[in-house]
A and B are shown apart, each in its own frame.
Chain A
Amino acid sequence: MVHGELWTLKELFVYPNEYIYWSVQIVMYPFMTGLVAGAFVLSSLYHVFGIKQLKDMARFALVFSFALLFAAPMPLLFHLMQPFRGMHVFMTPHFTSAIAAFGIVFSGYGAIVASELWFLYRKRFVEVSLPLKEKKDKTLLEWIKFVIFCTLTLGAYDISEESLKRDEKAIKILAGVGIPVACFLHGYAGFIFGSVKANALWMTPLMPVIFIMSAIVSGIALCLLTYIVTMEIRKFVAVRKRSRAAYRFQTREEIGGVEINVIRMTAKYLLFFLIFAISLELLDLIFRGYTAVKSWDVLRTIIYEKDFTNIFILQYTIGNLIPFILLLLPNLSIKRAVVGVALVLFGVFMMRWNVVIGGQAFSLSFAGYMHYHMPIIPHDWETFKEGLGGAVSIFVMPFVLFWIMDKIFPVFGSDKEKRATH
């Protein structure tokens, strides 16, 4: 079986070699990269612009961004026909290709996020590793912990007031540098599509900007969602423990109070970027219709007929309009926020879907169509990784990573506070 044949149905005149080669994994790829960029921008809002209300969220968003960072290249790797040659991108990069920029930009961005995290958690690394160093008979587990944290300190054990101040300054600079790099990281993901002149739907100089805007939207939405969910879990735990023990450092009400302020503030930023994203997308659509170049006939059929449900119902109505109203109405409650951001996330995912799959829904001949049928039940490795299973495992990955990272970079306050809730 030819790659792509399994999930492609051809209608009317399609060239013999045309299939939907870029399937759900390539939908996941800009989606995940967008989440990375968005989460980082959210965290920078606090560090650079000093928006105090976002302090809790900033720390959380940064760690989450780091977790997403590892998951972001996975769909690309999953999708390669020769995944073991993936490192060729680093070995012989061809920079006239947008994908080759990936290697450099992605690693550079990773370094920035990692450094920022290092400065943020350096104190903790030292605090954990020093007592372990002194301890005489360490268990194996403690040895492992000792080695990990010792390495993480990078040999810098100075946690005096002065040096911590320097850390803060470094964080600020890194967060500032990180914003353009995050935008560049995702902008180039848009460039990968926008620069393909052979594809009439993709080719527009607006593509990188549209991608950046929707990236920030999705990143904020996912941070909000995860934040609310983890807070709810903590609340749940706190209530249960409170009835059992005498800890009263943070009551349920106190936690709840912190939460809604943060959420309302963040939701405002989300709306702001959502307006930008939608305006640009509509501008693109209007422009295509007005100029009506050669490809418009086939694009119109795709946009207004074949993909109408995907674009106008699922993406614009359910994914943009409804959450827009939900988040805009005054007195935003947590429940409304959860529904709103979940729909926003879905809307951004549908936008990626409509770009990637929609761009391959018509033939290069402009006289035929291709229909994508995503493999749901896998019967071999290929149908797994290019199907629902692959997409879901990619989506779950950052949450697992986040859970692991939380052990090293505790997101919610210091250890003391943590113990209080346990």
Chain B
Amino acid sequence: MINRREFLKNTVKGIACAALPLAAFEIIDPKKLFADKSGKPGVRWVFLIDTYKCVGCGFCVKACKNENEIPYDANVTRTWVERYVVTKDGQVFADSPKGARDGFATPKIDMGLGKYQEIKNEDIKKAYFVPKLCNQCENPPCVQVCPVGATYQAPDGVVLVDRKWCIGCGYCIMACPYGVRFFHPVYKTAEKCNFCYHRITKGMKPACVQACPFGARLIGNIKDPDDPVAKIIMTERVGILKEEYGTKPQVFYLGIDKEVR
């Protein structure tokens, strides 16, 4: 038989024990990471894209391909720029010819299968450019599905691919909802944007950020309270892509639109 005193004691203990794993369910959001000041200031790389500033010149794509040795004429790229044109009758046209490596020099929309769509100037209701790159998700599905541990999240949040260990099964390519992954034409392994890891770890900006003449692309550390990019993300209204997949992307967008895919 247990007396009341012991019963209460056990109840309290039980609740405490049950509450402990609940801590594991805490949502990791930017704010939480921002507030994390325990010990030395950590690093969590994030990206901010201002779609109002992007003009679709594609210098970012050019710089990225050169910097990261992605064969220039191969039809794959670590970053790309999309164009969205919404007409007055509500139709949405989108394209990204060659990933916008050469920018957008023509108003004609690339419809695939060699067809191009001309849109009259007066029919355009809104039109804009959206740069895309790897979202370095907090919960990267591409990493989850790698059968051999060849892709992983580094301690600073960047998702990297081990070219020496990748078997090239393509499961990560299938698992990414953003379509940022591809097979490197030379190394024959999975390839993706890594925020120019060799540059950011040396205190430099990623090649695309540096090449952008308009400041549409910014990189920052969300764990650093004095970081200007972190401040914008904390104080302005920013959007993310495809949040319904629960990947918690860490590339934030200013001026994102519902038409953006």
Contact = CB atoms under 8 A, between A and B. Distances in A.
A16 B77 contact: yes
Contacts of B231: none
Contact of A2 (B175, B183, B245): B183
Interface stretch (A96-104, A138-146, A225-233, A327-335): A96-104
Given A2-B74, A2-B75, A16 B96 contact: yes
B141 to A, nearest CB: 6
A3 interface: yes
A410 interface: no
Interface residues of A, number: 50
Contacts of A7: none
A108 interface: no
Q: Is the interface of A mostly helix, strand, loop or mixed?
A: loop
B245 A198 contact: yes
A1 interface: yes
Contact of B148 (A15, A91, A363): A91
Contact of B175 (A14, A93, A196): A196
A190 B94 CA distance: 34
A195 B182 CA distance: 20
Given A17-B179, A17-B180, A198-B175, A367 B185 contact: no
B5 interface: no
A80 B75 contact: no
Contacts of B180: 17
Interface in A17-60: 17-19, 21-22
Given A99-B147, A197-B245, A81 B188 contact: yes
Interface stretch (B42-50, B165-173, B198-206): B165-173
A96 B148 contact: no
A273 B127 CA distance: 53
B261 interface: yes
Contact of B166 (A11, A82, A364): A82
B93 to A, nearest CB: 8
B167 A81 contact: yes
B144 A97 contact: yes
Instruction: Name the residue in B149, B174, B180, B244 with the highest tally of chain A Cβ atoms < 10 Å from its Cβ.
Output: B174
Nearest to B261: A365
Given A85-B165, A85-B166, A89-B167, A1 B185 contact: yes
Contact of B188 (A15, A82, A93, A96): A82
B197 interface: no
B178 A100 contact: no
A97 B147 contact: yes
Nearest to B101: A16
B145 A13 contact: no
B95 A13 contact: yes
Instruction: Name the residue in A13, A79, A91 with the highest tally of chain B Cβ atoms < 10 Å from its Cβ.
Output: A13
A26 to B, nearest CB: 8
Contact of A97 (B171, B182, B261): B171
Interface in B83-121: 92-96, 98-99, 111-113
Given A13-B95, A15-B96, A17-B77, A81 B183 contact: yes
A166 to B, nearest CB: 39
Interface string B174-193: 11111111110100110000
A16 B76 contact: yes
Contacts of A325: none
Contacts of A82: 166-168, 188-189
A192 to B, nearest CB: 8
Contacts of B189: 81-82
A4 B173 CA distance: 12
A199 interface: yes
B244 A294 contact: yes
Interface in B240-261: 244-246, 261
Nearest to B71: A2
Interface string A358-379: 0000011111100000000000
Contacts of B144: 96-97
Nearest to A11: B112
B148 A367 contact: no
A1 B71 CA distance: 10
A169 interface: no
A17 B74 CA distance: 10
B92 A367 contact: yes
B183 A3 contact: yes
Contact of B177 (A4, A13, A80, A197): A197
A80 B169 contact: yes
A2 B147 contact: no
B112 A88 contact: no
Contacts of B146: 94, 97
B168 A13 contact: no
Interface in B38-69: none
B111 A80 contact: no
A195 to B, nearest CB: 8
A364 B177 contact: yes
A92 interface: yes
B118 to A, nearest CB: 16
B167 A86 contact: yes
B132 to A, nearest CB: 8
A81 B112 CA distance: 27
Nearest to A294: B244
Interface of A: 1-5, 9-19, 21-22, 76, 79-82, 85-86, 88-89, 91-94, 96-100, 102, 192, 195-199, 294, 363-368
Closest 5 CB pairs of A and B: A81-B168, A15-B179, A365-B261, A16-B99, A99-B147
Given A13-B95, A16-B179, 17 more contacts: A2-B74, A3-B182, A3-B185, A15-B179, A17-B80, A21-B183, A81-B170, A82-B166, A93-B147, A93-B148, A97-B144, A99-B171, A196-B145, A197-B245, A363-B179, A364-B179, A365-B94
9 contacts: A1-B185, A13-B261, A22-B174, A79-B170, A80-B168, A88-B148, A100-B148, A197-B246, A294-B244
